[in-house]
Amino acid sequence: MKHLSFIGTGKMASAIAKGICLNGVLTSDQIIGTAPDESRNDFHKLTDIPVSENNSDAMNSRMVVLAFKPQMAEQICRSLQPMVKDQYFVSICAGITLENLQEWLGSDKVTRTMPNTPLCVSKGAVAYCSADGVNNEDFDLLTKYFECSGILAQVAEEDINTITALSGSGPAYVFEMIDTFAQSAKESGLTDEVALAFTIQTFLGASQMLSDKLGSPEELRNAVTSPNGTTYAALENFKKNNLRQVLRDGFQAAKDRGDELSRGIK
């Protein structure tokens, strides 16, 4: 019997598994991953975790992470139902509710999570909510496997789609911004390498200042902004172009899509 299994071995399963192995919480031979096609070989190369094409091989585990696309969730969960005993299921599928999971799996030992890809570098953010069948031992396992790679918080189920729009999709927003600044610096004459390295370091450094509680975002922003200076010129331009509204609208679009997935709209 394995400690942990992943049904679906794509990007997110790889990020979670990598975090668990890197932090020495489990060894690769205590885990198994299953997927029908190519992704399982990439997962194996990245983590050294054994893989199989049969989802039934993942059902002989204490905890089973459901890591496939939401659109596949009903079909795969229903196919697992005859093999359900007392496994603890942890879903990472965006928009799939606890009620759906309980009905499709025929089990109430189910937790719904929203993780994010920075788990693979131990800077993840995972929110979760659970059905009634989840006990303290299950919670201990959830904490052990996810907190080693980042922060973990319990939230009300109605807040999960907000978390999805914030930290689940959020790394992509940051990559988009970093790419835009690095491209602008390149167009102004910097080499690719310097432009990207300085943009990354700026995001890392600014985030670290906030994480170290050196001030609120507003205070730290004001400390960089001299009247009529360079930063002021950029911030005035952001204001004129409604940057905050653009970011808010993007966030809302992600949340609305999560709500649609929860209502079964594919």
Ligand X SMILES: NC(=O)c1ccc[n+]([C@@H]2O[C@H](COP(=O)([O-])OP(=O)(O)OC[C@H]3O[C@@H](n4cnc5c(N)ncnc54)[C@H](OP(=O)(O)O)[C@@H]3O)[C@@H](O)[C@H]2O)c1
When binding is defined by CB under 6 A, the residue of 48, 72, 208, 253 that contacts ligand X is 72
8 A C-beta contact, residue 142 and residue 128: yes
Provide the minimum distance between the beta carbon of 202 and ligand X in the complex, in angstroms, as a whole number.
23
Q: Read out DSSP for 14-27?
A: HHHHHHHHHTTSS-
Measured from the CB atom, is 67 or 131 closer to ligand X? 67
Q: How far apart are CA 13 and CA 17, in angstroms?
A: 6
Token readout for 24 is 């020495």
Query: Binding to ligand X by residue 7, rule CB under 6 A?
Result: yes
Measured from the CB atom, is 163 or 195 closer to ligand X? 163
The H or E element containing residue 77 is: helix 73-80
8 A C-beta contact, residue 114 and residue 93: no
Provide the minimum distance between the beta carbon of 94 and ligand X in the complex, in angstroms, as a whole number.
3
Measured from the CB atom, is 9 or 107 closer to ligand X? 9
Provide the minimum distance between the beta carbon of 218 and ligand X in the complex, in angstroms, as a whole number.
29
Q: How far apart are CA 133 and CA 244, in angstroms?
A: 42
Query: Residues 145 to 174: which contact ligand X by CB under 6 A?
Result: 168
Measured from the CB atom, is 53 or 140 closer to ligand X? 53
Give residue 173's Cα distance to chain centre: 13
Q: Read out DSSP for 226-262?
A: -TTSHHHHHHHHHHHTTHHHHHHHHHHHHHHHHHHHH
Provide the minimum distance between the beta carbon of 244 and ligand X in the complex, in angstroms, as a whole number.
24
Token readout for 239 is 């204001």
| Amino acid letter for position 172 | A
Number of residues that bind ligand X (CB under 6 A): 29
Q: Closest-CB residue for ligand X?
A: 10
Provide the minimum distance between the beta carbon of 85 and ligand X in the complex, in angstroms, as a whole number.
19
Provide the minimum distance between the beta carbon of 141 and ligand X in the complex, in angstroms, as a whole number.
19
When binding is defined by CB under 6 A, the residue of 93, 101, 163, 195 that contacts ligand X is 93
When binding is defined by CB under 6 A, the residue of 10, 50, 133, 250 that contacts ligand X is 10
Query: Residues 47 to 66: which contact ligand X by CB under 6 A?
Result: 55
Taking alpha carbons only, the member of 92, 129, 87 closest to residue 105 is 87
Provide the binding-site residues for ligand X, judged by CB under 6 A.
7-13, 34-40, 55, 67-70, 72, 76, 92-94, 114-117, 168
